[in-house]
Amino acid sequence: MNRRDRHVATAPSTSQPASQPVVAAGDTAARRPYTAPRVVDSADLDELLEILGPAQANYGGMGMPSDQAIKTDVTEVDELTVLEQLAELPISRWRYRSEARGARHIGPMAQDFHAVFGLGDSDTVIYPVDANGVSLAAAKALRTRLTRAEARVAALEHENADLRHRLEALERRVDQARHGG
């Protein structure tokens, strides 16, 4: 296998041979212990992509389907609420038990993420689509807050300038009254 045909995928179990699918529909991979990524060949990657269905993969990464035509029960999200929930989510530095001592990651625990947001179908995994959705909603909420804060600052600056002009006018009148003028 040449270097171009090697890809990294996460196997649900170290006892699983490379010829078996990495993830299968209805698989209980979320309940198995995490194992470090392993090198798979192009055939394994092709099989994984076939299992994932309409996912898109290229050298930039994997894109999960997000077409509105395949979604149901779509509702609006209150981005400001998501931002407040995100503020309550504990974030830690950690490493997987199977990784070398020097490996470090940063992020929430799946149980906390699930408890705070109630997303996904398991409290032992965080799906990228959910993490991305939370991140985008929080970013939009921050933009909303920033826009409101900028408008408030502009209004206060305008009010401050008006008050400054009025104070200067009063000081001139006081000076004129003191000097008999």
Q: Note whether residue 18 is domain-resident.
A: yes
Q: Note whether residue 176 is domain-resident.
A: no
Q: Note whether residue 70 is domain-resident.
A: yes
Q: pLDDT tens for the chain, 181 residues: list them.
A: 443 444 444 434 344 444 433 444 444 444 555 555 555 566 666 666 666 666 676 777 778 888 898 899 999 999 999 999 999 999 999 999 999 999 999 999 999 999 999 999 999 999 999 999 999 999 999 999 999 999 999 999 999 999 999 999 999 999 999 998 6
Q: Note whether residue 140 is domain-resident.
A: no
pTM exceeds 0.75: no
Q: Note whether residue 120 is domain-resident.
A: no
Per the structure, the complete domain to which residue 67 belongs is given by 1-74
Residue 59 phi, psi dihedral angles, 5° rounding: -65, -15
Q: Note whether residue 124 is domain-resident.
A: no
* Number of separate domains in the chain: 1
Cα 23 to Cα 51: distance, rounded to the nearest angstrom: 7
Q: Note whether residue 147 is domain-resident.
A: no
Q: Note whether residue 165 is domain-resident.
A: no
